[in-house]
Chains A and B, each alone.
Chain A
Amino acid sequence: MKGFGRYMIFLGSLVVRRETFKTYYHLTLEECIQIGIKSILLFMLVSTFMGAVTTLQTAANLVSPLVPKFVVSQVVREMTVLELAPTIMAIIYAGKVGSSMSGGLGTMRITEQIDALEVMGINSASYLVLPKIVASLMMFPLLVIVAAVCSMMGGYLAGTLTEILTPTEYIYGIRYAFNEYFITFALIKSIVFAFLISSISSFRGYYTQGGALEVGISSTHAVTTSIIAVLIADYLLAYLLL
């Protein structure tokens, strides 16, 4: 509970004694490039294979001739939109971006760079962390959309190249009984996950004490805590919103 209390105080400190809008604008753009553009290839790669594997495994399980083939792509769509794109990508995001945020802030802490900002009269938490959170809130939903598209593309390639189903069947299944709300649900999840990962990782990094070993420990804790928070939030959101 003490840790949760410190986390809430940390979140509160992000919005007091802020710098100018121009300062945050530039920092947020830099973070968007750092965490968004530089992550996109990994997300595309993982999600494409994820879609391809889902297609093959779903097809392998649907052996009954009574089940039409387009159900395979329908399953791929539902799995991708509801769970794989937001949640699995959140876990990858925690591993790649969360650990980087925590490690970066931890290194700044132990090399007194954060103290240097404080001595200059700058609210270091707000200056360093707020742009990371805002950039995550902007970029992660976009990454989830890209991942969802790539996953369905991966499924299409795997399904058609292995002749499990025809392109027409795949597209039909993707469009069949589509519930638009699931997209909204996935985006709500992505925003919540982005906030949790960026804020928890930053919190862990910002309060690092010690040396290089502790920076590594902070990064590991950041990823572990973020993933646990994402999984709990995933369950709660599914319970509340579906």
Chain B
Amino acid sequence: MIKINNISKSFADKIILNGIDGEFDKGKTNLIIGSSGTGKSVLLKCIVGLLHPDTGNVFYDFRNFTEADKDMKSEIRREIGMLFQGGALFDSKNVEENVMFPLDILTKMPKSEKIDRVNFCLKRVGLEGVNKKMPSEISGGMKKRVGIARAIVNNPNYLFCDEPNSGLDPQTSIVIDELIMEITHEFDITTIVVTHDMNSVMGIGEKIMFLSKGDKLWEGSNHDIMNSGVKELDDFVFTNKIMKNLKHGTV
């Protein structure tokens, strides 16, 4: 479980996050949603420690990450797996080396064991036989899957996904979403997904936090998002005419 308490962040005079509180449950896909520029990615970066919040704290299973010393931070970070928007695969390493990288750096596993683990993770994300391919030789969807395999290879307790569907076609997006949800349930990890993709919201949003202009306006699940009663969220969800008609029962 991850808990955030009063997270604020500004860049120069611009307030990006304004005292965000919330809890992200273990074994669930927790979504942070909102329009572009509402501070979703900044909040995620504050949670994983890539940015230091101006105020507030982040707790990983009751361990204060924000105030932790370097050793404790390092220890917590080694329990984190993260899928970046563009995959963030290392260009100079092939698929196998990319997935094996956290094991090389963070563990003292024998090589054969590492290869078995890498093959298991690649199989889990539906990528077999691509071990020796370079990132430049695989598609965007495959890069995301390799990114997921790298994120889970070290058995993380926390999985973070920053816009996992960006740049993917709707079908591949659904595959990636389902994969993230399956992995979350299978390994019982705390997953936080930042997205503005409504398919993801409706498909895997077991717990959803809606941000608008740096404020948290709503929290709930995909089952009650349609009837939130929050105007900003309605504007976000029912963007096009078809969705608006659907809400008013005219389709």
Contact = CB atoms under 8 A, between A and B. Distances in A.
B163 to A, nearest CB: 11
Contacts of A111: 86, 88, 91
B187 interface: no
Interface stretch (A117-125, A140-148, A150-158, A225-233): A117-125
A150 B85 CA distance: 49
Given A17-B70, A119-B82, A113 B106 contact: no
A17 B74 contact: yes
Nearest to B83: A116
Contacts of A118: 49-50, 77
Given A23-B105, A120-B105, A121-B73, A115 B88 contact: yes
B84 A116 contact: yes
B50 A121 contact: no
B129 to A, nearest CB: 24
A121 B106 contact: yes
Interface in B61-114: 70, 73-78, 80, 82, 84-86, 88-91, 101-102, 104-106
Interface residues of B, number: 25
Contacts of A121: 73-78, 80, 106
Interface string A94-113: 00000000000001100111
Interface string B12-52: 00000000000000000000000000000000000011100
B70 A112 contact: no
Contacts of B104: 23
B85 A112 contact: yes
A119 B48 contact: yes
A121 B81 CA distance: 10
Interface of A: 16-17, 19, 23, 107-108, 111-113, 115-116, 118-122
In the A-B complex, the 6 residue pairs with the smallest Cβ-Cβ separation, listed nearest first, are A121-B77, A112-B88, A116-B88, A112-B84, A121-B74, A119-B82
Given A23-B104, A115-B84, A121-B74, 16 more contacts: A17-B70, A23-B105, A107-B91, A112-B85, A113-B88, A118-B50, A119-B48, A119-B77, A119-B80, A119-B82, A120-B78, A120-B101, A120-B102, A121-B73, A121-B75, A121-B77
